[in-house]
Structure formats: structure tokens, C-alpha cells
Amino acid sequence: MSTDSTGLHVELDGPPDETVTRRPVLTLHGFTGSTATMWPLVRPLAETRRVAVVDLPGHGRSTITNDAHAFGFEHTVDAVAAAIDDHHLRPAHVVGYSMGGRVALSLAIRHPGHVASLSLIGASPGLSDPVERAARRRSDDEIADDLLEDGLTAFVDRWMASPLFASQVRLGTDALADARTQRLANDPGGLAGSLRGAGTGAQPSYWQDLAGIAAPVLLVVGDEDPKFRAIAMRMAAGLVRSAIEVVPGAGHAAHLENPDYVRAAIGDLLDEVDSR
């Protein structure tokens, strides 16, 4: 474990460097998540690869700062690229969920040499309509204000009650309680900063940049997540090398609701890319 020069907390696992022949994996969580939420998905990959899991700015054990610039979306992407260099992971297979998927996609655009492949779970290239993007930014700012005013506990309870996560009820009460505990371990100021700086409203639209991504892209979506299934279909039309994996019995957080299926799909992509 380490907090590197970027202030990002990075956890590593896998065989010794001299025995590894496959490319490493870098994993990015969603909003309110942390390294803890992604390890169950990728830990088995560490049997044959170096695996790194990152706490994004404002989350987990990454450095919390009052500098608004540190939470900016493109600054976040550049910090992840620097972490890849700091830990000698270039080029990495990058796995990202939701917000982490948006960061991963941008990484392939801003730092293409750092990315061997992309596995994006419930992700998007942002909002293409400037009016819609501005409205979302105002909404994210209001949510951040409410978080700081009402406190982290009230915010987390509202967040987990969102219809987007309704399908997670299948995980059971113990798993949901663990997820709530993990979210409550975050710093409220850090989450508010992340919403303002790296929320969907703050992110540039990358729809027009999809055709320039040379790395193969796996778009993973739950079969009970119609919004992101539609986004994945639109993304696939603009990407040069892509495939869509619809995960049965899963909603937005497909990697939590059907982890074996998602892990197998990602593993197939990684093995295919590394065999070339």
C-alpha cells in the first residue's frame, strides 16, 4: 500500500515483477466507493498479474485537500496516469466502474500510451448537450451542499436509496450494511469536492473522441440497467474496437451483483489482448 506523489492511495497485489509476463491491471471505483469495493472483483487476477486498486480523489485513504483544483476531472485523470508511471504499470489494462469508468475512458484519450485495454462497467463519455451538462453541474453542486449541510450519514442513506441501486437488494442485508459502512468511512468534504470537480456535470463530453481510442474496449452493463445499456450501444457505434457484455441478473453495479460473470468477461479480454 502507498500514497504516491499524486496523493492517490494505491494498493498492489500480484506475483514478483520478475515472474510476471502479463500486463498489469489498474482498477478504479465509483463515487462513494474505495479500493475495498473493487478488490473482490480483481483480487483473483493477482494470481497471474500485478493488480493495482486506486482510491480516487476525495475517497478512501487518498489525500484530502482544500484545493478545488485537485478534485478536477482532468486533474484526476492526469493523477491516475502519474500513478501508473509511479508504480511501473504502463501500459495497464484499466477497469473502471461508473465514475471510475468515466476516468478510465478519459485516460485512454488523454494518455493513450498508458492503456492496454478498457473494461468499463456502467460508464459513459459524459453529457454531449452543453445545456444538459450545465444543469447536471448545478445539480451536483446542490447535492454537494446538501451533503455538507445534512451530514454524511443522511447523504449515504439517500444515495443508497436511489433507484439506480435498487437491484442491489439481492446482495442481502449483510452486504448492504457493509457497503454502507464503507461509504461512511469517506470524508464528507472529499466526497463534496469530488462531486463538484469530477461529477458528470463537470466532465467534458468525450463522445466526439471515441473514434480515436485505439485500445480495445469492453462495455459491461447489467441487464437491469436500461439507461446504461442504451449508452453502451451508442458508445459501441463510435468506438473502433469494442464489445458489449450484458450481465444477467444485475443492475448498475454489475460487478457486485454478478462478480463471477463480470470477472470472466474481463479476464477473457485481458487474455486475448496479451496473447497478441
Whether residue 16 is predicted with pLDDT greater than 90 in this model: the reply is no
Residue type, 187: D
Kindly report the backbone phi and psi dihedral angles of residue 252, in degrees, each rounded to the nearest multiple of 5, phi listed first: -65, -45
The rounded mean pLDDT for the chain is: 94
Q: To the nearest whole percent, how much of the chain has pLDDT over 90?
A: 88
What pLDDT was estimated at residue 53?
98
d(CA 158, CA 144): 13
Residue 4 has a pLDDT of 54
The pLDDT of residue 8 is above 90: yes
What structural domains and CATH numbers belong to the chain? 2-274 (3.40.50.1820)
DSSP 252: S
Which tens digits make up the pLDDT trace of 133-181?
A: 999 999 999 999 999 999 999 999 999 999 888 899 989 999 999 999 9
| pLDDT on residue 2 | 52
Render pLDDT for 77-114 as a digit per residue (tens, 0 to 9).
Answer: 999 999 999 999 999 999 999 999 999 999 999 999 99
Is 19 in contact with 95 (CB distance < 8 Å)? no
Residue with the bigger pLDDT between 259 and 3: it is 259
Q: How far apart are CA 273 and CA 276, in angstroms?
A: 6
Question: Is the pTM higher than 0.85?
Answer: yes
Q: Give the pLDDT confidence score for residue 1 in this predicted structure.
A: 53
Q: What is the per-residue pLDDT for 237?
A: 97
**Per-residue pLDDT, 164:** 86
Q: Residue 185: what pLDDT?
A: 95
Note the pLDDT tens digit of each residue in 201-251. 999 999 999 999 999 999 999 999 999 999 999 999 999 999 999 999 999
